[in-house]
Amino acid sequence: MKLIVTISLNVLTLMIVSYLVPGFRFDSLWATIVTAIVIGVTNTFIKPILKIIFLPLTIITLGVSSFLINVVLLWAVSFMVPGFEIEGFLTAVIASIVLSLVSTFLHKLAEEKG
């Protein structure tokens, strides 16, 4: 049940971001659902490995490279999922920031209600 709630919140988050950020768009609801799942899998398995590999760079740049890992992974997902498009790198940066903020807000809101 928790997995369904998490995926639903992620889908809602992606829909809000696509509304707020120009150049961040989905062709259909199905593409949004698939993107939420792929982002979840990517953040669970690939992101920790990249954070370990780039740990020295993260320390030197005071965390900026950690943010760039998020941006690059989000942009990479847009190449993997048909029906999900990010127009450029700057759009990916803005979308990553908005995605983090909206996701944090919605997940905190769900925790308080649950």
Per residue in 49-80, pLDDT (tens digit) is 999 999 999 999 999 999 999 999 999 999 99
Give domain limits for the chain. Answer: 2-109
- Judge contact between 95 and 17, C-beta under 8 A: yes
Local structure of 82: helix, strand or coil: coil
pLDDT for 23-52, tens place per residue? 999 999 999 999 999 999 999 999 999 999
Evaluate if residue 113 carries a pLDDT over 80: no
Residue 25 parent element (H or E): strand 24-26
The pTM assigned to this predicted structure is 0.92
HSE of 67 in the Cβ direction (CA atoms, 13 Å)? Answer: 13
Using CA atoms, how far apart are residues 65 and 52, in angstroms rounded to an integer?
12
Q: Tell me the residue type at 109.
A: L
Handedness of CA 11, 46, 48, 100 (dihedral sign): negative
